[in-house]
Structure 1
């Protein structure tokens, strides 16, 4: 049975939901306070659909469960898959880098861009959204680890950037996103998530225009979601734990 078999995907999805629920309990958080985003980079369309169908079936027995979110890293995959998911009506996020020349493509399919890593990018999104008469949910990506391989604004600049983004017409600041440190030291990983939470709290509690909705913390992945939930994650992004090893492009 392949890693993309619908039965395997459904089983692993249930296992991840159990992990999230256990992490919520361990952190003393309310059940359902953490949403699950399925990171579908390089996952074939049939695998994504299988996960969405499995999620819908599971929620039929649990009306309190929130639907999973879909997250794409690459604009070309986002645009290619989105039309074939319309019947399942998922909320689709862009979670990877966005180049300014692909803004229009991203806006055609994404309901949220989590990877806003500069005010310049936010301004481009805002201009296009205002012209189209729409409001786009966004998050500011912060590089809490300081690793050169990670995208995101520097933590020292994150509050100012978030406040500036929150004030732009056409955008709704929903919170912050980060990719945790690539480290076997859980304390180092967790400290980064703690830092993101502190930045979020400062933005949310600032009283500045557009910050009231900045409540989300998108952080934690398959290997460290428990650490992220313990530090306040509201969205965890999981790929291999649900889909198995990624297909080779």
Structure 2
């Protein structure tokens, strides 16, 4: 990235934080209740580091500052390649893209949370690896709230049962749910999907089933629609282009 573009990242990040804060205010939510995740797919390492350093500088010395940004990678190979070069900044790293069974071991070496568990079978593979290594992995269940064939995730009708089965597995900690909003210019349709995810989360969280009480997170909303997601209760919003600019084709 050019020096000029790197300098812009801090300002873009501040603008994204301001959007989240305004959305929280409009939704009568507590400041800082929606956390920012930087979606860093195809973003060069110097861009990711610039964003993390700008975030740390903006929060320095401010006891009321929001929580540090999270880092989210779509591809395991990028996750693994970048992680050693970010270790000194100690970000919390999430996998936000599909996880193939042959990449589980690689992902577990780096990711603190896998947001894209969409089946019990995948959860069981993760749980087996985690139990063998004596660790507990945070996971979110991904739900396809829009019904679009291009989207990954459990069907909404199966999401509650899937999540409760995941919550019961040793080695995993169910933290909530994730979705990619509908690809639509109709805000009502997009928001309805986010509302559905919140309702699924609430049903699981309040079920009384073992391991379900910690399912509080809602990872939903991106650069173009984060206000709609925050209005429906998002606790994590994933922003990429709003901070890093348009991705190269």
Task: Give the TM-score taking structure 1 as reference length.
Answer: 0.98
Q: Is the 8 A contact 1:3 1:245 kept in 2?
A: no
Q: Distance in 1 between matches of 2:23 and 2:2?
A: 29
Q: What is the CA–CA distance in structure 1 between the aligned matches of 2:231 and 2:61, rounded to whole Å? A: 27
Which residue in the other structure is 1:196 paired with?
Answer: 197
Q: Following the alignment from structure 2 to structure 1, what is the Cα–Cα distance between the partners of residues 123 and 4?
A: 36
**Counterpart in 2 of 1:81?**
82
CA distance, structure 2, for counterparts of residue 15 and residue 236 of structure 1: 14
Mapping 1:93-132, distance limit 5 Å = 93-132=94-133
Q: How many residues align?
A: 248
Note the C-alpha offset of 1:74: 0.2
In the alignment, the residues of structure 2 paired with residue 45 and residue 10 of structure 1 have an alpha-carbon distance, to the nearest angstrom, of 15
How far off its partner does 1:27 sit? 0.0
Q: Does 2:244 align with 1:243? A: yes
What are the within-5 Å matches in structure 2 for residues 139-218 of structure 1? 139-218=140-219
The superposition leaves residues 111-146 of structure 1 with CA deviations (integer Å, 9 ceiling, x where unpaired) of 000000110000000000000000000000000000
Query: Structure 1 residue runs of 4+, over 3 Å off?
Result: 1-4
* CA shift for structure 1 position 62: 2.7
Q: C-alpha displacement at 1:5, in angstroms?
A: 2.5
Question: Whole-Å Cα distance in 2 between the matches of residues 211 and 115 of structure 1?
Answer: 17
Partner residue in 1 for 2:69: 68
Q: Which residue of 1 aligns with 2:35?
A: 35
C-alpha distance in 1 between matches for 2:174 and 2:85: 28
SS at match of 1:28: coil
Three-state SS of the structure 2 residue aligned to 1:38 is strand
Q: Distance in 2 between matches of 1:203 and 1:115?
A: 17
In structure 2, what is the Cα distance between the partners aligned to 1:80 and 1:172? 26
3-state DSSP of counterpart to 2:55? helix
**Cα drift, residue 247 of structure 1:** 3.0
1:39 to 1:4, Cα distance in 2 relative to 1, 3 A: farther
Distance in 1, matches of 2:15 and 2:67, equals 16
SS of 1:194's equivalent?
helix
For 2:188 and 2:59, the matched residues in 1 are separated by 34
The alignment yields a C-alpha RMSD, in angstroms, of: 1.1
Give the superposition deviation at 1:63: 2.6
Where does structure 1 lack aligned partners over 5 or more consecutive residues?
Answer: none
Give the conservation status (yes or no) of the 8 Å contact 1:69–1:92: yes
Determine if contact 1:138/1:171 at 8 Å carries over to the other structure: yes
Q: Secondary structure at the match of 2:52?
A: helix
Deviation at 1:3, TM superposition (A): 8.7
CA distance in 2, matches of 1:79, 1:100: 16
Deviation at 1:6, TM superposition (A): 2.4
Partner of 1:5, secondary structure, is: helix
